[in-house]
C-alpha cells in the first residue's frame, strides 16, 4: 500500500510517521527563505540580476538538462547527493543516472510513477516556449548557503499567454528543501485574466513515499505579478519527523532607529508554530549585545500549528546610553518542553539616537511620450503629490515603446539598468518600492516619508556664465553611518518640457532629467560621522546649442560634449540624494532651484521679459546689435503665432490677442540660436 503524505497549510498532517524522510513545516511562510535572495524576478536579458546561470532555455519539450553540481555538501533523505538534473516541466531529480523520460506538463498526485525517485517537483511549469528559462544561483556564505533553481517566466497551461516564476531551493547545513511561489500572471491574448495555476508541488522520495503541498495537483499560485519578493510565499520540507512542540523565530520586530526620549521600548518578535501541537506558553530570553539577559514566560497563547503571531516580552528595555545595540531573542521552551528544534533564535541591530532629520523621499519615475499607460501614471503621480512637499522628483524619459522619448539619454539607460527597469510606467521610491506609477498612493508616500533620516542636505545651486550649473552641497549626519557603499548624486532636471511630445497624448512633461553631475555613477562617499559636516561641489557645463532628437534611440541621444536638450534656462532644478549603492536605499534627498547669475540668458546674452507676460513682452540682446535676427513664436501645437525680424538687438511683441498659455520663443542669427519658454497670462 502506497504511503501518500498530504500536507495541509496551517492544518494537521496526514500519515506522517517515522518511516518518512521529510515533513513539511506547517503553514506557508512569507517572503524568501532566510531573506538571502532579494533579486527581482525577471528573465535573463530582461532585468534579471547578475550572477544567475541559464541552464535551460526554451523552447524545450520534456527534456532533461545535463547534470548540475551542488555547490556545497547536501543530503537528500539522509544520503549525500552531489548533482541534480533539471526537467523542463518542473522536475528536479537527484537520481541523475535515471533513464526515466521527463514527464509531460500534466501534473498528478504524488507519489507518481512518472516522477523519478529522489525528486522535488513544481510539476506543471513548462519551459516549452521561447522566453522560458530555468536559471540557478547560489546565495549567502558557508556554512549557510542556499542554491536556487528558478523556473523563470515559464509557461503554465492555465495561465494561457502568461507566465510563472517558482523556485526549488537547497539549503546548506539544514538539508532543508524550500519551494518558493514567486510570481504569476494570467494573460489571454493581450488582456489580463483571472485563471490560476494547477500544479503539483512537493517532494517524492520513491514510488511509494511523497510529501505534497495542500492543493496538489491543483496548486494555485499565491504570488501576483509583482517582480519583488514582497508577495512571495514558500514551503519548507525538513528531514525527519514533525515534533509536537516547536516555535521558530521569524524576525525581531524593532525599529532600526530609536529615539532615546521614547524609552522604555517593548521587545517584540514574530514567531511561527512549526510543531504539531497548539502552543499555549513559551519561555524566552532577550539579550543586549551578548549580555544583559532577560528571561521570561509568555503565557496565555493559543497559537495553532502552522500559524504565526507577534509576541511581546513583559519587561520593557531602557537603554543605558546612546549607540548601537544587538537585540537577540531565544526560545527556551514551548509548552514547558525544551525547544531544540528549528530556528529558535533571532536578532536585530538597532541604534539609539538623540535626534534625526525629517525625510524628503526620492521619487524616480520612468516614463515615455510614446507610452500610452504612462499618461495616466504621470497624472496619478501628480494627484498624489499635490499639496505635498516632502519629496524630490526625477523623471527619466526612456527609449521604448517604439522608438521612445526624444529626451532619453545614456544616463537614463544607466539608471534603468541599475534598477533592472524593463517596463514603463515604472517608479522607485527611495530605491525600495519598485512598481507601476499607476499604483502609487498617498499611503505609500506617507509610509516612506515617515521613516526617519539621519542626513541633512543643505546648499545652493546656481547657473553661472556659459550655462555652468554648480551645486554646493553640505551633508550633516545626525548619526554615525559606517557604510562605505554610499554615493552622492546630483541630477539636473527641467521643470516642464514641451518639445518631446509624441504619441501618448501628453503635451508637457515635468521634472525631466537633463544631466547627472558629473555622470550616472555618482560621487563616492566614505563613512559619515555624527555632526561632522561634509562639503561637496558638483558642476556641469552645458555645451553647444539646443537640439531636439528625433526619438529615443541610441543614435539620437544628446552628445553632452557638444549639445544639449534644455528648452529654457530659467526652469532648472538640481535634485541631490545620498544612496547606498549596494542596497539601493536612498537615505535622503533635497531639491534646489537653480538660481540665475543674472537676468540675462547666460548662454546667449538674450533677455526675454517680462515672463509671464500680460499684453507685451520684449527681447533685448547686446550681441545682436548690428545684426538681423529671425524671431519666431509658436504655441504648444507647433503653430506659428508670430514671425518677424529684429534689428539693433531689440524687439517688442504684443500678446494682447494671444490665448493664455505657454509659447516657445526662438531667436536665430549667425551668432545666436536661442529658444526659451514664455508664459502668457491675461
Domain-wise residue ranges, the chain: 3-239, 247-353, 361-596, 607-680
Task: Provide φ and ψ at 419, rounded to 5°.
Answer: -95, 5
Name residues whose C-beta falls within 8 Å of residue 226's C-beta, 6 or more positions apart in sequence.
183, 435
**Confidence at residue 614, expressed as pLDDT on a 0 to 100 scale:** 83
**Confidence at residue 465, expressed as pLDDT on a 0 to 100 scale:** 67
Tell me whether domains 361-596 and 607-680 share a fold.
yes
- List pLDDT tens digits, range 500-510: 999 999 999 99
Confidence check: pLDDT of 8 > 60? no
Confidence check: pLDDT of 175 > 60? yes
- Sign, CA dihedral 638-641-645-648, equals negative
Nearest Cα neighbor of 51 from 35, 62, 59, 39 is: 39
**Confidence at residue 6, expressed as pLDDT on a 0 to 100 scale:** 35
Q: Which helix (H) or strand (E) covers residue 542, if one does?
A: none
**Confidence at residue 648, expressed as pLDDT on a 0 to 100 scale:** 86
- List pLDDT tens digits, range 554-574: 999 999 999 999 988 878 999
Distance of alpha carbon 409 from alpha carbon 199, whole angstroms: 44
In this prediction, residue 435 has a pLDDT band, given cuts at 50, 70 and 90, of: confident
Whole-number average pLDDT of the chain: 91
More reliable by pLDDT, 588 or 16 = 588
Question: Looking at residues 21-45, what average pLDDT do you find?
Answer: 92
Question: Looking at residues 638-645, what average pLDDT do you find?
Answer: 93
Confidence check: pLDDT of 155 > 70? yes
Among 10-19, 86-95, 367-376, 621-630, where is mean pLDDT lowest?
10-19
**Confidence at residue 7, expressed as pLDDT on a 0 to 100 scale:** 37
Among 38-52, 119-133, 262-276, 530-544, where is mean pLDDT lowest?
38-52
Question: Looking at residues 59-83, what average pLDDT do you find?
Answer: 97
Among 13-22, 206-215, 521-530, 579-588, where is mean pLDDT lowest?
13-22
Which CATH class, in words, describes the domain spanning 247-353? mainly beta
List the end-to-end C-alpha distance of the chain, in Å, as a whole number: 90
Question: Looking at residues 150-155, what average pLDDT do you find?
Answer: 97
**Confidence at residue 596, expressed as pLDDT on a 0 to 100 scale:** 64
Question: Which CATH code is given to the segment(s) 361-596?
Answer: 2.60.40.10
User: Model's pTM, two decimal places?
Assistant: 0.65
Among 18-32, 246-260, 414-428, where is mean pLDDT lowest?
18-32
Please compute, for residue 326, the number of CA atoms within 13 A of its CA located in the half-sphere on the CB side: 7
Confidence check: pLDDT of 171 > 60? yes
Domain 607-680 of CATH type 2.60.40.3080: yes
| Residue 296: exposure state from Cβ atoms within 10 A (0-12, 13-18, ≥19) | middle
- List pLDDT tens digits, range 305-361: 999 999 999 999 999 998 889 999 999 999 999 987 768 999 999 989 898 899 999
Amino acid at each position: 500500500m502506497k504511503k501518500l503524505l498530504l500536507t495541509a497549510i496551517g492544518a494537521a498532517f496526514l500519515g506522517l510517521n517515522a518511516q518518512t524522510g521529510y515533513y513539511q513545516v506547517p503553514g506557508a511562510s512569507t517572503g524568501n527563505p532566510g531573506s538571502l535572495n532579494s533579486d527581482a524576478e525577471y528573465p535573463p536579458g530582461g532585468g534579471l540580476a547578475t550572477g544567475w546561470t541559464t541552464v535551460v532555455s526554451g523552447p524545450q519539450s520534456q527534456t532533461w538538462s545535463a547534470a548540475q553540481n551542488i555547490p556545497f555538501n547536501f543530503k537528500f533523505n539522509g544520503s549525500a547527493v552531489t548533482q541534480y538534473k533539471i526537467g523542463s516541466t518542473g522536475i528536479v531529480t537527484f537520481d541523475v543516472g535515471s533513464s526515466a523520460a521527463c514527464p509531460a506538463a500534466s501534473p498528478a498526485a504524488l507519489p507518481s510513477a512518472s516522477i523519478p525517485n529522489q525528486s522535488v517537483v513544481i510539476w506543471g511549469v513548462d519551459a516549452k516556449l521561447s522566453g522560458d528559462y530555468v536559471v540557478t544561483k547560489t546565495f549567502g556564505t558557508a556554512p549557510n548557503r542556499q542554491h536556487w533553481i528558478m523556473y523563470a517566466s515559464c509557461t503554465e497551461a492555465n495561465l494561457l499567454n502568461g507566465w510563472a516564476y517558482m523556485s526549488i531551493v537547497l539549503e546548506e547545513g539544514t538539508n532543508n528543501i524550500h519551494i518558493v511561489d514567486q510570481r504569476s500572471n494570467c494573460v489571454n491574448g493581450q488582456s489580463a485574466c483571472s485563471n490560476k495555476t494547477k500544479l503539483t508541488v512537493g517532494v517524492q522520495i520513491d514510488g511509494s513515499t511523497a510529501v505534497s503541498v495542500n492543493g496538489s495537483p491543483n496548486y494555485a499560485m499565491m504570488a501576483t505579478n509583482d517582480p519583488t519578493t514582497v508577495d512571495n510565499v514558500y514551503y519548507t520540507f525538513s528531514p525527519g519527523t514533525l515534533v509536537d512542540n516547536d516555535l521558530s523565530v521569524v524576525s525581531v520586530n524593532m525599529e532600526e532607529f530609536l529615539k532615546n526620549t521614547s524609552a522604555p521600548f517593548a521587545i517584540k518578535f514574530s514567531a511561527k508554530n512549526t510543531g504539531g501541537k497548539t502552543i499555549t506558553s513559551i519561555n524566552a530570553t532577550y539579550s543586549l549585545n551578548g549580555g544583559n539577559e532577560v528571561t521570561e514566560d509568555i503565557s496565555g497563547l493559543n497559537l495553532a500549528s502552522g500559524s504565526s503571531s507577534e509576541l511581546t516580552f513583559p519587561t520593557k528595555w531602557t537603554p543605558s546610553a546612546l549607540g548601537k545595540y544587538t537585540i537577540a531573542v531565544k526560545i527556551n521552551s514551548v509548552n514547558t518542553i525544551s525547544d531544540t528544534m528549528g530556528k529558535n533564535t533571532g536578532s536585530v541591530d538597532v541604534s539609539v539616537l538623540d535626534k534625526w532629520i525629517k525625510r524628503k523621499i526620492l521619487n524616480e519615475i520612468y516614463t515615455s511620450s510614446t507610452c500610452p499607460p504612462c499618461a495616466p501614471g504621470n497624472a496619478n503621480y501628480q494627484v498624489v503629490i499635490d499639496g505635498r512637499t516632502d519629496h524630490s522628483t526625477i523623471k527619466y524619459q526612456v527609449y521604448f515603446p517604439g522608438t521612445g522619448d526624444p529626451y532619453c539619454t545614456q544616463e537614463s539607460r544607466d539608471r534603468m539598468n541599475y534598477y533592472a527597469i524593463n517596463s514603463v510606467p515604472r517608479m522607485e521610491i527611495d530605491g525600495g518600492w519598485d512598481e507601476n506609477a499607476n499604483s502609487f498612493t498617498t499611503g505609500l508616500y506617507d509610509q516612506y516619508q515617515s521613516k526617519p533620516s539621519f542626513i541633512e542636505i543643505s546648499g545652493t545651486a546656481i547657473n553661472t556664465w556659459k550655462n555652468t550649473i554648480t551645486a554646493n552641497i553640505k551633508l550633516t549626519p545626525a548619526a554615525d553611518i559606517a557604510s562605505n557603499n554610499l554615493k552622492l548624486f546630483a541630477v539636473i532636471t527641467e521643470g516642464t518640457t514641451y518639445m518631446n511630445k509624441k504619441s501618448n497624448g501628453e503635451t508637457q512633461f515635468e521634472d525631466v532629467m537633463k544631466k547627472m553631475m558629473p555622470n550616472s555613477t555618482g560621487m563616492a562617499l566614505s563613512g559619515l560621522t555624527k555632526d561632522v559636516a561634509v562639503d561637496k561641489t558638483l558642476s556641469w557645463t552645458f555645451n553647444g546649442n539646443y537640439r531636439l532628437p528625433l526619438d529615443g534611440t541610441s543614435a539620437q541621444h544628446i552628445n553632452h560634449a557638444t549639445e544639449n536638450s534644455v528648452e529654457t534656462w530659467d526652469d532648472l532644478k538640481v535634485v541631490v540624494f545620498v544612496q547606498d549603492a549596494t542596497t539601493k536605499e536612498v537615505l535622503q534627498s533635497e531639491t534646489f532651484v537653480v538660481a540665475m547669475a543674472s537676468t540675462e540668458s547666460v548662454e546667449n546674452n538674450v533677455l526675454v521679459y517680462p515672463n509671464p507676460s500680460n499684453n507685451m513682452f520684449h527681447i533685448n540682446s547686446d550681441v545682436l546689435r548690428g545684426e538681423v535676427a529671425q524671431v519666431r513664436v509658436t504655441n504648444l501645437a507647433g503653430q506659428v503665432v508670430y514671425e518677424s525680424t529684429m534689428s539693433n538687438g531689440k524687439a517688442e511683441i504684443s500678446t494682447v490677442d494671444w490665448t493664455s498659455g505657454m509659447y516657445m520663443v526662438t531667436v536665430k542669427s549667425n551668432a545666436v540660436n536661442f529658444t526659451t519658454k514664455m508664459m502668457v497670462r491675461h
